[in-house]
Amino acid sequence: MDRPRVICHMLMSLDGKIDGRYFSLPETRPGLRKYGELRTFYGCPATIYGAATAAEGYADGSVFVSDMPEKSAEAIRPVYVGISGAENYIVVMDPEGTLAWSGPYVEKKGRPKAHVIEALTERASESCIAHLQCLGVSTIIAGEEQIDCELLLRKLKEFFGIDSVLLAGGGITSWAFAARGLIDELSVVLTPTADGDSGAASLFEAGSLAPAIPKAFSLKAVEVIENDTLWLRYLLKK
């Protein structure tokens, strides 16, 4: 393929939620452990997040216009490689470049140090892109108004040598790839819990990135984990 293999890997409650209060239940803990172990099992050098998910756990807030440098011709290159040959990457789909970063790497407890790649659109200002590049953050322009998921994947492989990516939410980001047939395997750790909160994010959610078009999956494997937790693996029917 001329793009990386995409594995969508998520922890989920019985009512399809990927976040919510059920995370605090003891019955969720085996699933959380398994979810972390499977990140190593798949061995993907890059993980893709939507801007909202990245803002919650990785970014340093939002960018302030006053903090940005003046416009620079260097800022409009379609791809800017801030770090060559990194072992791990975090790819953030941030169409307008709204997230702030303190440097080219992020570290989270229990996760390897990872180089940040901002996936942007032409809506992101030149000053925003220049700001990111000054920090050493890599940038990819992949679309005019919305992120072109397939173009992003091709550029990740061409410019960074990334052969596989873990797609880790949120639901709108995951659906953007599923709706375009770009998920090669769906990995779901299903916990024996339910949340019931209609406001909590679901595994797949149609949004501005892709419309609600029904998709079907075929079961690849099922594994029973301790305390009634399941690991489900599916293939997307294309």
What is the full per-residue pLDDT of the chain (238 aa) written as tens digits?
Answer: 899 999 999 999 999 999 999 999 999 999 999 999 999 999 999 999 999 899 888 888 776 555 666 656 565 778 999 998 899 999 999 999 999 998 999 988 778 899 999 999 999 988 889 889 889 999 999 999 999 999 999 999 999 999 999 999 889 999 999 999 999 999 999 999 998 888 889 999 998 777 888 999 999 999 999 889 999 999 999 7
| Domain shared by 174 and 219, yes or no | yes
| Domain shared by 173 and 93, yes or no | no
| Domain shared by 58 and 125, yes or no | yes
- From first CA to last CA, the distance across the chain in angstroms is 15
Residue 203 CB partners (closer than 8 Å, separation 6+): 10, 12, 16, 17, 18, 171, 174, 188
Other Cβ atoms closer than 10 A to 66: 5
- Strand 89-93 relative to strand 114-120, pairing: parallel
pLDDT of residue 77: 79
Is the bond preceding residue 170 a cis peptide, omega within 30 degrees? Answer: yes
Last residue of some domain: 138, 162, 186? Answer: 162
| Domain shared by 221 and 141, yes or no | no
Buried b (16+ CB within 10 A) or exposed e, 68-106: beeeeeebeeeebebeeebeebbbbbbbebebbbeebbb
Residue 144 CB partners (closer than 8 Å, separation 6+): 121, 122, 123
| Domain shared by 63 and 99, yes or no | yes
pTM, entire model: 0.92
| Domain shared by 55 and 25, yes or no | no
Longest CA–CA span in the chain (Å) reads 57
Question: Residue 33: which domain range?
Answer: 1-45+165-238
| Domain shared by 16 and 5, yes or no | yes
| Domain shared by 127 and 54, yes or no | yes
- Strand 229-236 relative to strand 185-190, pairing: antiparallel
What are the strands, taking DSSP E only, across 57-184?
79-80, 89-93, 105-106, 114-120, 138-141, 164-167
Other Cβ atoms closer than 10 A to 180: 17
Residue owning tokens 């702030």: 100
| Domain shared by 55 and 153, yes or no | yes
Domain count, the chain: 2
Q: Quick one: how far is CA 22 from the chain centroid?
A: 22
| Domain shared by 238 and 139, yes or no | no
| Domain shared by 12 and 63, yes or no | no
